């Protein structure tokens, strides 16, 4: 009796180091410009080639502008990093390289699934912690450091200690106006940012089963924010019909063969996990964060905890955090004026997020004082936004679209929230300075972001 995780892990073991980690074979490696240059340099220093170039997909996304992408990148340091990325793709004969402006370019965790690179049963890595996103397809997907990127390029393998397993079940149905992002922020607020460290999580239960692939990706994406090595969901008909027909998905006979295998990818009845949590989906309301880590979240109508509610060792951090945010213990945030709204990132930059946002703002007008950055996760998402008529709805309501990339999620480019300003952001991290030095991030789902963009305040989208 095996868990889903065990089945995939065991199928990828090349060897085991005595008293040590497992040598794991990697089916798909995603690569971007920020965490890879030192890895390619490492290969050069050792005189090595890339072992399996066709198993690495390269896209420029982290350090790229979201306007005028057809022009040369202004910042010389960023440009040098992008040029280095291009040079590495050429020097090492990498066939799957998608530079700025390429129709397959976009945020790495968005273009992977969209193009069918991401498939059930795979092992997937990337020098980026949100690689956990791909677990939504029933894959073992996790973030790695640059030394490990070098290992994958050189040998298509990494050395990993087998993590423990955790199951998190969400019974019942989510309420109206409650999104996958809210479910994830709720879970992280319960488990804390270190609550799943050392574990690989499998999500289960009715609320998860009812989700679309986009929603499942949002949930798995945020697994890392509670410290988990990764998160995964057993593949089902929703998964198969999403994958079918995508460019790099198996075709014909190969499809049938794979599909038969994919259908076996579920946790066996009676298999056990090292830890289990059960939540009721109906307990969850739209969520926001008030502090400087994703575990500091609360229901939109709740109040920030009081100092007494925080355990003693954590009080210095709690006080620093609220000071940074310009907020006070015990207060409500509903009705608080905000300055920026960011819709995008690998958490909420998919087509469904734009549908949710557009549906809410339809026939309304953006608040004048709010700066809204709407950044599609990829050119494919951008195309769909236009084809589905969402672009017109957004324009009508006073919004415009930027070009794909990570953008204000980590603010490596010019999309920085000014110091002291409040941003309602659909991204995944509210760390100090994450969206620009001094920027104050309130994490939320696309619906809460839409409501804030319209009223200019923290607003419960259910009203």
Partner 1 sequence: MEKFITLTSTVVPLPIENVDTDQIIPARFLKATDKLGFGNNLFADWRYNKDGSTKSDFVLNNTLYKGEILVAGKNFGSGSSREHAAWAIAGYGFKVVVSSFFADIFSNNALNNGVLTVVVTPDFLSEIFTNVNADPKTSLTVDLLNQSITNNKTGRLEKFEINPYKKECLLNGLDDIDYLLSKKAQIEQYEKAR
Of 245, 436, 412, nearest to 324 (Cα)?
436
Of 183, 259, 196, nearest to 225 (Cα)?
196
Q: In this complex, which beta carbon is closest to partner 1, that of residue 358 or of residue 409?
A: 409
Of 156, 183, 162, 181, nearest to 172 (Cα)?
183
Q: Is residue 345 a contact residue for ligand SF4 (CB under 6 A)?
A: yes
Q: Is residue 53 a contact residue for partner 1 (CB under 8 A)?
A: no
What gap in Å lies between CA 292 and CA 439, rounded to an integer?
Answer: 11
The alpha-carbon radius of gyration of the chain (Å, integer) is: 21
* Structure tokens given for 113: 């699934």
Q: Is residue 37 a contact residue for partner 1 (CB under 8 A)?
A: yes
| Alpha-carbon torsion, ordered 430, 436, 437, 440, to 10 deg | -40
Among 118, 293, 384, 403, binds partner 1 (CB under 8 A): 293
Q: Is residue 151 a contact residue for partner 1 (CB under 8 A)?
A: yes
User: Contact 88/40 with Cβ under 8 angstroms?
Assistant: yes
Q: Is residue 107 a contact residue for ligand SF4 (CB under 6 A)?
A: yes
- Number of residues written out for the chain: 463
Helix or strand holding residue 160 (H, E)? strand 157-160
Q: Do the strands 56-59 and 13-16 form a parallel or antiparallel pair, or are they unpaired?
A: unpaired
Q: In this complex, which beta carbon is closest to ligand SF4, that of residue 123 or of residue 428?
A: 428
Least distance to ligand SF4, CB of residue 264, Å:
31
Q: Is residue 410 a contact residue for ligand SF4 (CB under 6 A)?
A: yes
Identify which range of 107-115, 245-253, 265-273, 353-361 contacts ligand SF4 by CB under 6 A: 107-115
What gap in Å lies between CA 119 and CA 255, rounded to an integer?
Answer: 11
Q: Is residue 264 a contact residue for partner 1 (CB under 8 A)?
A: no
Least distance to partner 1, CB of residue 308, Å:
18
Return the DSSP state at 137: G
Strand order from edge to edge, sheet including 199-204: 230-232, 199-204, 164-171, 275-280
Among 213, 397, 409, 451, binds ligand SF4 (CB under 6 A): 409
Q: In this complex, which beta carbon is closest to partner 1, that of residue 30 or of residue 360?
A: 30
Q: Do the strands 13-16 and 22-25 form a parallel or antiparallel pair, or are they unpaired?
A: antiparallel
Helix or strand holding residue 168 (H, E)? strand 164-171
Least distance to ligand SF4, CB of residue 282, Å:
29
Q: Is residue 197 a contact residue for partner 1 (CB under 8 A)?
A: yes
Least distance to ligand SF4, CB of residue 408, Å:
9
Least distance to ligand SF4, CB of residue 237, Å:
28
User: Contact 358/364 with Cβ under 8 angstroms?
Assistant: no
| Alpha-carbon torsion, ordered 345, 349, 353, 359, to 10 deg | 110
Q: Is residue 35 a contact residue for ligand SF4 (CB under 6 A)?
A: no
Q: Is residue 22 a contact residue for ligand SF4 (CB under 6 A)?
A: no
User: Contact 218/327 with Cβ under 8 angstroms?
Assistant: no
Least distance to partner 1, CB of residue 414, Å:
11
Q: In this complex, which beta carbon is closest to partner 1, that of residue 111 or of residue 411?
A: 411
Q: In this complex, which beta carbon is closest to ligand SF4, that of residue 96 or of residue 333?
A: 96
Least distance to ligand SF4, CB of residue 339, Å:
20
Least distance to ligand SF4, CB of residue 335, Å:
29
What residue ranges bind partner 1 (CB under 8 A)? Answer: 14-15, 17-21, 23, 25, 34-35, 37-38, 41-42, 46, 48, 51, 62-63, 75, 77-78, 80-81, 84, 127-129, 131, 143-148, 150-151, 154-159, 161, 163, 193-194, 197-198, 227, 229, 293, 313-314, 316-317, 320, 410-412, 429, 431-434, 437
């Amino acid at each position: 009796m095996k868990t889903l995780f065990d089945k995939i892990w065991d199928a990828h073991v090349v060897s085991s180091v005595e008293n040590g980690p497992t040598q794991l074979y990697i089916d798909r490696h995603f690569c971007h410009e920020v965490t890879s240059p030192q890895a390619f340099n490492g290969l050069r220093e050792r005189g090595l080639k890339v072992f399996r170039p066709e198993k690495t997909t390269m896209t420029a996304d982290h350090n790229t502008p979201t306007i005028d992408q057809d022009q040369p990148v202004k910042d010389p340091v960023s440009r040098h990093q992008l040029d280095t990325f291009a040079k590495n793709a050429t020097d090492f004969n990498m066939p799957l390289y998608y530079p700025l402006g390429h129709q397959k370019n976009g945020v790495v965790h968005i273009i992977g699934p969209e193009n069918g690179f991401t498939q059930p049963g795979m092992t997937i890595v990337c020098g980026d912690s949100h690689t956990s996103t791909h677990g939504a397809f029933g894959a073992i997907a996790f973030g790695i450091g640059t030394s490990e990127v070098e290992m994958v390029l050189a040998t298509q393998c990494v050395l990993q200690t087998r993590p423990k397993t955790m199951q998190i079940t969400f019974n019942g149905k989510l309420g109206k106006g409650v999104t996958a992002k809210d479910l994830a922020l709720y879970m992280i607020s319960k488990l804390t940012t270190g609550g799943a460290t050392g574990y690989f999580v499998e999500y289960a239960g009715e609320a998860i089963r009812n989700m679309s692939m986009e929603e499942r990706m949002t949930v798995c994406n945020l697994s890392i924010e509670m410290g988990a090595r990764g998160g995964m969901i057993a593949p089902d008909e929703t998964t198969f019909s999403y994958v079918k027909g995508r460019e790099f998905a198996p075709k014909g006979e190969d499809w049938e063969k794979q599909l038969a295998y994919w259908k076996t990818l579920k946790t066996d009845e009676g298999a056990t996990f090292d830890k289990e949590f059960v939540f009721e989906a109906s307990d969850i309301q739209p969520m926001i964060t008030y502090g400087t880590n994703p575990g500091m979240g609360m229901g939109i109508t709740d109040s920030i905890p009081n100092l007494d509610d925080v355990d003693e060792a954590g009080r210095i951090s709690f006080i620093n955090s609220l000071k940074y945010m310009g907020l006070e213990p015990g207060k409500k945030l509903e009705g608080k004026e905000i300055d920026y709204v960011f819709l995008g990132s690998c958490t909420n930059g998919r087509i469904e997020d734009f549908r949710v946002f557009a549906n809410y703002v339809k026939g309304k007008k953006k608040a004048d004082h709010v700066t809204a950055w709407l950044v599609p996760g990829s050119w494919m998402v951008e195309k769909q936004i236009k084809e589905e008529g969402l672009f017109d709805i957004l324009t009508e309501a006073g919004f415009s679209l930027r070009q794909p990339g990570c953008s204000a999620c980590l603010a490596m480019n010019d999309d920085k929230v000014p110091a002291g300003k409040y941003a309602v952001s659909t991204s995944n991290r509210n760390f100090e300075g994450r969206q620009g030095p001094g920027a104050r991030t309130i994490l939320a789902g696309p619906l809460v972001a839409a409501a804030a963009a319209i009223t200019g305040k923290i607003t419960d989208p259910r009203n």
